Amino acid sequence: MTLTDQQRDEIRAAANTVRQDSVRMTNAATCGHPGGPMGMADFMSTLFLAHLNLNAENRHDPERDRFILGNGHTCAGLYSLLAQKGLFPSESLLEFRKFGSPLQGHPHRNLDLGIDMSTGSLGNGLSVGAGMALAAKQNNWETRVYVASSDGESQEGQIWEAATAAAHYGLSNLTVMVDFNNIQIDGVMREVMDVRDLREKYAAFGWHAVDIDGHDIDAVDGALCAAKEETTRPSAIICHTTIGKGVSFMEDKAAWHGVAPNDEQAQEALAELGA
């Protein structure tokens, strides 16, 4: 299965909205993490629009697909996509990180909004995804479990405990998408603590693992389709991305990991994104 032209247009538009929302939301909150979700926008939009079986109608269906944002700090992008899929009105996005808003600074499980898991502490997500995938297998459900992770999160030992277990249990219904932008808080990942070749590592742990350009939506779609063909192994898609993608002054800069654009920067960023 390949994407139709219409699907491609829709995914590109959704990804651009994710980027604009990441800028608007963090600007309104005067804090948060805009860079990560902008880099993840293309693969996340492909997942949410073309693969993840979650929408306003089936949100409470126990057999629907699950999604866990292991790198929880990038939740502006998750919230944008959930709003775009109609799980809540997009006006709520500007309440991000504010007192009383369900759109917490890091995801808090809320099935009404389609948020399957509380995250924010790096390293925890993939294990929970493995547990969900195990239960789905036990129940003979078609449910697929998707977990987003990152190069920085791959430094946590628990990721590799989860990788061992998921392969051991043959969780072919589990897919991890790793945002590999070579950036973490303290700088360039290769310099801070090099995780080296994640595709090779996941493969050595017994996973079906591929490297792709995380901004190439056809490559993302192809990798997600291939993951569904696996019958005995979990799949790892290492998505090579650029943090802050789409805004020239934000691209590839660790500084945009966790700093909100001020009004002037937000205006400039939104102009570059064609808003």
Partner 1 sequence: MLQTMARELAPLHQGDPIKAATREAYGKALLELGEEMPDLCVLDADLSGSTKTKAFGQAYPERFFNCGVAEANMMGIAAGLASMGKTVFASSFAMFATGKAWEQVRQSIAVPQFNVKVAATHAGLTVGEDGKSHQMLEDITLMRVIPGMRVLVPADAVEARLAIRAAAENEGPFYVRLSRASTPVVFGEDYKFELGKGAVLRDGGDVAIIACGIEVGMALAAAEELAQSGIEARVIAMASIKPIDADLITEAARDCGCVLTAEEHQIRGGLGSAVAEVLATRAPVPMAFCGMDDEFGQSGDAWDLISHYGLDGPGLAASARALVEAKNS
Q: How far is the CB of 194 from ligand TPP (least distance, A)?
A: 12
Q: What is the CA radius of gyration of the chain?
A: 17
Q: Toward ligand TPP, which CB reaches closer, 162 or 243?
A: 243
Per-residue binding letters, 150-189, with Mg ion (x by CB under 5 A)? xxx----------------------------x-x------
Scanning the chain, the segments in alpha helix (DSSP H) are: 5-29, 35-50, 75-84, 125-138, 157-168, 189-193, 198-204, 217-229, 263-272
Element containing residue 240 per DSSP (H, E): strand 235-240
Based on the number of CB atoms within 10 Å of its own CB, is 267 exposed (0-12), middle (13-18) or buried (19 or more)? Answer: middle
Examine residue 118 and tell whether it contacts partner 1 (CB under 8 A). Answer: yes
Alpha-carbon span 148 to 169, nearest angstrom:
20
Nearest to 70 by CA among 123, 7, 30: 123
Q: Under rule CB under 8 A, how many of the chain's residues touch partner 1?
A: 29
Binding residue for partner 1, selected from 122, 126, 147, 163, defined by CB under 8 A: 122
Examine residue 248 and tell whether it contacts partner 1 (CB under 8 A). Answer: no
Q: How far is the CB of 196 from partner 1 (least distance, A)?
A: 12
Q: Toward ligand TPP, which CB reaches closer, 255 or 275?
A: 255
**Positions that interact with partner 1 (CB under 8 A):** 29, 31-32, 72, 97-101, 104-106, 108, 118-123, 152-153, 155-157, 184-186, 192-193
**Positions that interact with Mg ion (CB under 5 A):** 150-152, 181, 183
